Homo-oligomer: A and B are copies of this chain.
């Protein structure tokens, strides 16, 4: 763990680099949309979420996305965040088929309704990217 001092701006910049590495416009849009109402929330998502936690070396980007898809599917009520992270999962190299396999697997642990909601989120993302129909 590095212990050199970092300013608030430096921590944000570090997190934004991590965010840039996996997200496209959808991910950045979340942060920008907070500017007029909850900018500190946006700052913390970037500086802490992406900078301090998600950029740690212990797991590969694809592994982290599998965990995130699992959490969001399991907790429910997170359809908007699922869309963003389905896009990020594609960005780090998971295939559409692997993402759907995650949701099929989720039916075993949290039931068909959560799986169906997650597939509905995937449909939006895959359609925007011209990936449908899947083979």
Encoded as 1 (CB less than 8 Å from any B CB) or 0, chain A from 33 to 54 comes to 0111110110111001100111
Asked if A105 contacts B59 (CB within 8 A), the reply is yes
Residues of chain B lying within 8 A (CB to CB) of residue A72: 74, 109, 113
Asked if B68 contacts A69 (CB within 8 A), the reply is no
A93 within 8 A of B: no
Closest chain B residue, CB of each to CB of A34: B119
A78 within 8 A of B: yes
Where the two chains meet, the residues of A that have a C-beta atom closer than 8 Å to any C-beta of B are 1-10, 30, 34-38, 40-41, 43-45, 48-49, 52-54, 56, 58-59, 62-64, 66-78, 80-81, 97-98, 100-117, 119-120, 122-123, 126, 132-134
